[in-house]
Structure 1
Amino acid sequence: MPDTQETRQRCAGCGIALQFERPDLPGYVPESARSRDSVICQRCFRIKNYNDASTVAIDQDDFLRMLGGIASTDSLVVHIVDLFDFEGSIISGLQRFVGNNPVLLVVNKIDLLPKVTNWNRLRNWVQKQARLNGLKVADVVLCSARRKIGFDKVVERVAELRGHRDVYVVGATNVGKSTLINRLIADYSDLNRELTVSRYPGTTLDAIRIPLDDGKSIIDTPGIVYRSRLSEIVPRESLNAVMPEKPLKPLTYQLNAGQTIFLGGLVRFDFVEGERQSFTIYVSSALPVHRTKRERADELYAAHRGELLSPPSREALDDMPPWTRHSLRLPKHAELDIFVSGMGWIQANGKTGALVDIYAPKGVKVLLRDSML
């Protein structure tokens, strides 16, 4: 396509270069929408008005080149992570991309945790996990963009740390990045626009530079798609069951060795060895939990996958990666979570030691970590 003024325009919602000829490609704008003051692509229009989105892949090489350029700038880097999926949404190796620029770690979705949460303990936990991931942070701010909790503190720390610099905002998909940026725009700029906000991965398709009143900019980068998160590989119709929008309601089970818990049709937890003890499950309340004997688990799954054990449907399960078994040894006296990226975690309460098996789709990150709560 010729390099005209039209083709150089960018979508006000997702940042992709607009184009006017191919409806099947990213950035398409129909004739009827071209004269609007703030032009958005057809995909963003469908997200905003119909909560529908097509799947568009982002060139990861382009993204890494974009991220790699931050080190040569004088900027504040705001790294947004999802508290519900902390290990799945933190950018591994971010430190080597940002150089000497300060990093503000914004931990979103704290509204999902129980009201009795010890916030000082949680903050200490976040700082420790950040260090374990090789990230040096200037500060940590806990917030909920959706509920407007702690956002005044985010704005305050951004102002204090950035001085007279640009602000790069980075994060994985679906961590609430665009929601937070829209709040920053409202505080720092008179610009009358909003980024496209969606539950679907990859809503922001290119870097979006938002001018601020002091002549600097907020640069919103595309969300990194980590296929190691269950939320990235489940069928779209199952996202509402996997990604919680309401506070988590912990489910505690007293288990004997030889019992199994199915989390929908997506993940299986086997208590293989150990004394009778309790396990507390932190997942979306829309995800059905089913307990059975381990000796019956294979038969139950074969007969009821996609039905009693759902979501997703049997047809959708057939399209997902096969399960991989993760055998985890829980040492005595340790306070640990069994973390499944994109689904939540299971807190081991017994401290008496145990052997557990987790079956999850191949490639999904499963690990042991210090208990969050």
Structure 2
Amino acid sequence: MIETEQHHCEGCGVRIQTEDESRPGYAPSSALKREHIVCKRCYRIRHYNDIAPVEQDPGVYLQKLQEIAHTDSLVVLVVDIFDLAGSWIQGIHRHIGKNPLLLLANKIDLFPKSVKWGRLKDWVRATAKELGVDPIEIALTSAAKGEYFRQTVEAIEHHRKGRDVYIIGVTNVGKSTFVNRLLKEFGEEDEYITTSPYPGTTLDSIYIPLEDGKAIIDTPGIVRKDRMSEWVTPKELQIVMPQTGIKPKVFQLNEQQTLFFGGLVRFDFLEGAKQSFVTYLSNRLYIHRTKLEKADEIQTKHRGSILTPPEDPAQLPKWRKHRIQLNGKEKQDIVIAGLGWIACGQDRAVIDVWAPEGVQVGIRPAII
């Protein structure tokens, strides 16, 4: 196979090769004559929204991440503020060495406008410290909408101090969307990174030169299989991942009632006084309410039909039960990584959350 050392896909970073259409990086020989070279996969994503998954080796991506520790750089960790714990890179402080870390909390446009940004930033900082990191700064932004974008760019430039900038994060936090907005803001209209609603779109590091001889490096997203978003198809991912501002839904439940979040998660309210549960999930995700005594029958009969996604329940690991006990002392959130959360009140309650084996389910003090 011929692999051309001098050519890399402008969209995903993979090395271009012209021999094997079934392998990543394929482009016809004629594409090498273009000013902006993209592989066939990126071309089809951009022009036809035809998303072709590729085999990924998470170990290789982690190895690339560890190389940052041997550089003198500013590291920008992009997290999805709607899924902060689920979009965190575990052990990040070990991977980046002594390099300073700027924490970029993306997708603030998904939160209701009534949210107090100062309180949200305090929550992000407190969570980062719990996870063993003390960022030099926390920036809130929406790469998709451009909210607080200028302030974010100024923060990066202030802390860069003439160094390279590594943009890192797990899949689907909006890294490439952020880099594209950077390119647009600085007049590079003809260049952009391929984005899609599918994990692993960026296949290798993409170097974007700066005027001072340094570079912004967009790295491949780290895969975390404990997030719901990693288990669904590209089509279903557009339903599961919020695309617009969340419209919370309030459910007044009596004990022995159940909510199905599509066919992805089951929420059984076992014990407690009648109380409100507020869902912060994608507006497109169907939520079905029923009595607990009917839940098994409905699950068996309708999961994969009425209760979708997934269209094929066999694509997910088997459900595992998580017993949640609300303490009745403070408002709490039940969080499902890669999906969203359910805000609970201050009443005591016992709840079973059924989610695919391995998907992270937890509880935290309420953030709204």
Same fold (TM over 0.5): yes
Instruction: Kindly report which structure 2 residues correspond to 1:8-23, keeping only aligned pairs within 5 A, or say none.
Output: 8-23=6-21
**Within the alignment, does 1:320 sit opposite 2:316 as a pair?**
yes
Partner-residue secondary structure (3-state), 1:184: helix
Given candidates 145, 148, 152, the residue that maps to 2:146 is: 148
Checking the alignment, whether the CA contact within 8 Å between 1:269 and 1:356 is kept in structure 2 is yes
Q: Partners in 2 of 1:342 and 1:81 — Cα distance?
A: 12
Match of 1:211?
209
Checking the alignment, whether the CA contact within 8 Å between 2:266 and 2:353 is kept in structure 1 is yes
Structure 1 window deviating more from structure 2 (303-312 vs 123-132): it is 303-312
Cα displacement (A) at 1:328 = 1.2
Q: Partners in 2 of 1:61 and 1:240 — Cα distance?
A: 27
Q: Partners in 1 of 2:243 and 2:186 — Cα distance?
A: 28
**Within the alignment, does 1:257 sit opposite 2:252 as a pair?**
no
Cα displacement (A) at 1:89 = 0.6
Match of 1:162?
160
Deviation string, structure 1 residues 62-108 (Cα, Å, up to 9, x no partner): 22221112122111000001112111111111011112211111111
Checking the alignment, whether the CA contact within 8 Å between 2:225 and 2:359 is kept in structure 1 is yes
Deviation string, structure 1 residues 315-372 (Cα, Å, up to 9, x no partner): x1122211111111111212211001111100011x1221111011111111111212
1:54 maps to a residue whose letter is A
Deviation string, structure 1 residues 154-197 (Cα, Å, up to 9, x no partner): 10100100010000000011111011112223456758421111
Instruction: Kindly report which structure 2 residues correspond to 1:157-236, keeping only aligned pairs within 5 A, or say none.
Output: 157-187=155-185, 192-236=190-234
Match of 1:59?
57
Given candidates 351, 354, 359, the residue that maps to 1:359 is: 354
**Within the alignment, does 1:301 sit opposite 2:299 as a pair?**
yes
Given candidates 80, 94, 98, the residue that maps to 1:96 is: 94
1:305 maps to a residue whose letter is R
Q: Partners in 1 of 2:315 and 2:135 — Cα distance?
A: 40
Q: Partners in 2 of 1:207 and 1:34 — Cα distance?
A: 20
Q: Which runs of 5+ in 1 are unaligned?
A: none
1:68 maps to a residue whose letter is Q
Checking the alignment, whether the CA contact within 8 Å between 2:331 and 2:365 is kept in structure 1 is yes
Distance of aligned partners of 1:353 and 1:212 in 2 relative to their CA distance in 1, 3 Å threshold: same
Given candidates 311, 315, 337, the residue that maps to 1:341 is: 337
Given candidates 124, 131, 135, the residue that maps to 1:137 is: 135
Match of 1:278?
276
Q: Partners in 2 of 1:248 and 1:137 — Cα distance?
A: 28
1:343 maps to a residue whose letter is L
Match of 2:25?
27
2:256 maps to a residue whose letter is G
1:279 maps to a residue whose letter is F
Cα displacement (A) at 1:8 = 4.0
Deviation string, structure 1 residues 242-296 (Cα, Å, up to 9, x no partner): 0111111101111111110011111100111112211100101111111111111
Checking the alignment, whether the CA contact within 8 Å between 1:188 and 1:213 is kept in structure 2 is no
Structure 1 window deviating more from structure 2 (197-206 vs 184-193): it is 184-193
Given candidates 75, 78, 102, the residue that maps to 1:77 is: 75
Deviation string, structure 1 residues 35-70 (Cα, Å, up to 9, x no partner): 111110000001100111211133223222211121
Partner-residue secondary structure (3-state), 2:168: strand
Match of 1:43?
41
Checking the alignment, whether the CA contact within 8 Å between 1:262 and 1:291 is kept in structure 2 is yes
Q: Partners in 1 of 2:281 and 2:184 — Cα distance?
A: 33
Checking the alignment, whether the CA contact within 8 Å between 2:61 and 2:221 is kept in structure 1 is no
1:263 maps to a residue whose letter is F
Q: Partners in 2 of 1:300 and 1:59 — Cα distance?
A: 38
Partner-residue secondary structure (3-state), 1:89: coil
State the number of aligned residues.
368
**Within the alignment, does 1:269 sit opposite 2:267 as a pair?**
yes
Checking the alignment, whether the CA contact within 8 Å between 1:189 and 1:211 is kept in structure 2 is no
Partner-residue secondary structure (3-state), 1:9: strand
Distance of aligned partners of 1:124 and 1:340 in 2 relative to their CA distance in 1, 3 Å threshold: same
2:49 maps to a residue whose letter is N
Q: Partners in 2 of 1:266 and 1:61 — Cα distance?
A: 28
Cα displacement (A) at 1:216 = 0.4
Match of 2:241?
243
Checking the alignment, whether the CA contact within 8 Å between 2:78 and 2:103 is kept in structure 1 is yes
RMSD of aligned residue pairs (Cα, Å) = 1.5
Partner-residue secondary structure (3-state), 2:84: helix
Checking the alignment, whether the CA contact within 8 Å between 2:269 and 2:352 is kept in structure 1 is yes
Structure 1 window deviating more from structure 2 (51-60 vs 162-171): it is 51-60
% same residue: 47
